[in-house]
Each structure stands twice: as C-alpha cells, then as structure tokens.
Amino acid sequence: MVELKPLLDEGLTRAVLSNPRRDSPYSKVTVRPVLVDQQLRYQFEYRQGAKATHANLLPLEAENELEALIRRDFRQALLQTPVHDYQVLNGEKLLRRPPTAAPDASLTHDRPKRRVLAEGEAVPFLVELGVMTPDGKVRAQRYDKFRQVNRFLELVDTVLPNRPVRIVDFGSGKSYLTFALYHLLAVQRGLDVEVVGLDLKEEVIERCKALAQTLGYERLRFEVGDIALFEGERADVVVSLHACDTATDAALARAVEWRAEVILAVPCCQHELFEQVRDDALSPLLDHGILRERFASLATDAARAQLLRAVGYDAHVVEFVDLEHTAKNLLIRAVRRGDTVTDAEAMSRYRTFKGRLGIDPALERALADVLPKGGGVS
C-alpha cells in the first residue's frame, strides 16, 4: 500500500476515489478540506447511487479513512495537492504529475490557509534577516527563503508538542529556521520554550546572538561547539537542518540518546556511503557517478529513517521544498512512539537492506548500544 502521509503533508485540496471493487458499499467518494469552527477538517462525500452521505473528519482520521477506502473499496484514486496530482492504482502504483489547474472555486472558498507566516504581516525576524520589508512584503529575491521557512513550519507544526519544550538545533548556521521555530512556538503559540542553536562557526553564532537580542528573544540562545561533543541538557525536540555529511548522524544519535520526542533532520551532502555501496544487480545504476551519488544519498536517508524506526520512532521522509528551490529537499521527521522502546522487525528489515547494499552507516555504529538484537517489538 502506498504511503499517504507524505502526499497529505503537501496539503490535500481534493481527492476522488472511483472504480469501486465488487464489494464496495460506495460507487464514488470525494474528499475536500473545509473549515469547521476555524479548524481544518476533511469532508468525505460517500456516493451510493443517487444517495450521498457526508462526514467531516480530523486530519488523522481522514488519513486513516482514505487509506482504508483505497485499500478496501476503490481501484483508483486521484489525490490533488498544490504541488502534485497523484494517481493511485490498486492501492500500490503511484503516478505523480504536476498539479492540474487550480482546484474548484468552491474548494478554495473553504480551503484553510496553509501558510504559517502570511505575506503582508511583518514578522520581525524575517524583517531583520532581510526576507521581508518592514511593512511585511516579501522581497522578490528572497521569496525562495520565505517559501522554505513557511514550508518548514507547515511540516513541523503538527508534530511539535503544544507545551513548553526545550529544542536544540544542531548545525544551526545562519539560523533562519531556528528563529522560525522560536517565532512559531514562543511568539505565535505563546509557549515558554527554550531553543538552543549550536554551530562550529564562532562568527555566525555571534551574529545570531546579536539578532536574538535585538528581537528580544530571551529564551533563544546560541552556542559555539561540535555536535558530537555537545554537553548541554537533554532536549525534547532535536533539529538538524543541512548539517554536513555525518554531522546529521551525530545529531540523530544524540537525539536518540536523549529519547527526544521529535526529531527533524534535513540531511545534506552525504558522502559516507558513496564508496561503500555495492550490488552487482545495480551496476547499471552505480556505474554512473551522478546516479551513484544520488542513490547513495537516498540509501543514507532510508537507512537513517529505518534505524530510527528500529529504536522506537515513527519516522517518515517527506519532501521539504521542491527540488528547483534546493537540491537538499528531504526532511526526516520522526516522532517517538509511546511506550515502544525498540522494534526488532524494523531492525531486521534494516539488516536486509544493509546486507544487500554492503553498507555500514555511521548512524548504526553510533546507535550500537541501543539497537534491538533479536526479533519482535519490545
């Protein structure tokens, strides 16, 4: 069954389920987002011949219901988002196309605004960073940055705990997204959060400290240091965006060690597996440097997400921004599962994957002490 969550994360604007299976009680189901008391719901219209019934579902319920309908009742599904049109055939095959024309006017009428930061409303940190003018206009040459910050906030908004938390951003660099997180949680949601940005570069950190002070962001702190040697307090949420090569693994390992509730990582320039990966059956792919590089990079992220699943996280890789805006466009988003500590079945799938490709990823070595050894979930 195809995974629907990454599709829905793009913001479902319409779904049409057709070509019902023989036992299906419905001839067709359509889905659209609506606002009910300013809350996002998905309205399902179930057609049985001339009769139609409706249900307004919460986003998570909608995801489960869509999955069940596609798996059980319909051979065909069209799922539309602002970014792509997806055709799902028999629950398995996924075809992706550029989005068709804007959704029906009737849909846009009810559609919730998905942007966390709105154009026209000055956001102090974006003004200070030169992305917005003081009256809230996005500067044309910084539009990509605005889009990236917004997209990031949309992707993380639903997984961040709605209570005071401590967040560490490893490899925070110029810290656009660190400031964005603080803005979302401390300014927009009014939560008493603490956010720490860590980076190797002293000069960059000094600038971030000065900006935090200018903005009066008292609980946003910056420190100079190496991720692997960081000795600060435990964080509930660990963020690492575009940290170089295995610095991402050091961040993920630290997050797991802390049993952080949420991990958000956008990996970057993965070199580690480039030399390691080998599989005779894949030689037509691996013989080309550029394809080997992309494949090794995807395999690195797949291994990371799978290892996180093995140590008790619900981990998904989702598209961060379109490739045209940055080549580093995958976000590993992991949320710690309730009481489950480890998942040996996920580990076994990881071992098969690793064995097939002949790889030895840094994250596995870093997590050696906590990875499950045998079978089952413990």
Q: Which of 173, 267, 361, 372 binds ligand SAM (CB under 6 A)?
A: 173
264 binds ligand SAM (CB under 6 A): no
Do residues 94 and 109 touch, judged by C-beta distance below 8 A? no
Q: What is the dihedral of CA 356, 287, 318, 116, to 10 degrees?
A: 160
Residue 133 has phi, psi (to 5 degrees) of -80, 165
Which alpha helices (H) appear in 100-246, and where do they start and end? 105-110, 124-128, 143-157, 176-182, 202-215
174 binds ligand SAM (CB under 6 A): yes
Q: Which is nearer to ligand SAM, 30 or 329 (CB)?
A: 329
Q: Which of 83, 208, 241, 363 binds ligand SAM (CB under 6 A)?
A: 241
123 binds ligand SAM (CB under 6 A): no
Stretch near ligand SAM under the rule CB under 6 A, chosen from 20-28, 94-102, 199-207, 210-218:
199-207
267 binds ligand SAM (CB under 6 A): no
Helix (H) or strand (E) holding 53: strand 51-57
Burial track 240-268 (b if 16+ CB lie within 10 A, e otherwise) = bbbbeebbbbbbbbbbbebebbbbbbbbb
Q: Which of 75, 84, 201, 351 binds ligand SAM (CB under 6 A)?
A: 201
206 binds ligand SAM (CB under 6 A): no
Q: Which of 62, 69, 212, 247 binds ligand SAM (CB under 6 A)?
A: 247
199 binds ligand SAM (CB under 6 A): yes
Instruction: Give the CA distances from residue 161 to residues 79, 210, 213, in Å, rounded to whole numbers and listed in that order.
Output: 29, 28, 25
Distance CA(208)–CA(223), nearest Å, equals: 10
Angle at 189 between CA 185 and CA 190, to 5 degrees: 90
Three-state DSSP class for residue 278: coil
147 binds ligand SAM (CB under 6 A): no
With left for phi above 0 and alpha for psi between -120 and 50, is residue 156 left, alpha or beta? alpha
200 binds ligand SAM (CB under 6 A): yes
Q: Which is nearer to ligand SAM, 94 or 204 (CB)?
A: 204
242 binds ligand SAM (CB under 6 A): yes
244 binds ligand SAM (CB under 6 A): yes
176 binds ligand SAM (CB under 6 A): yes
Residues that bind ligand SAM in the complex, under the rule CB under 6 A: 171-174, 176-177, 198-201, 226-227, 241-244, 247, 268
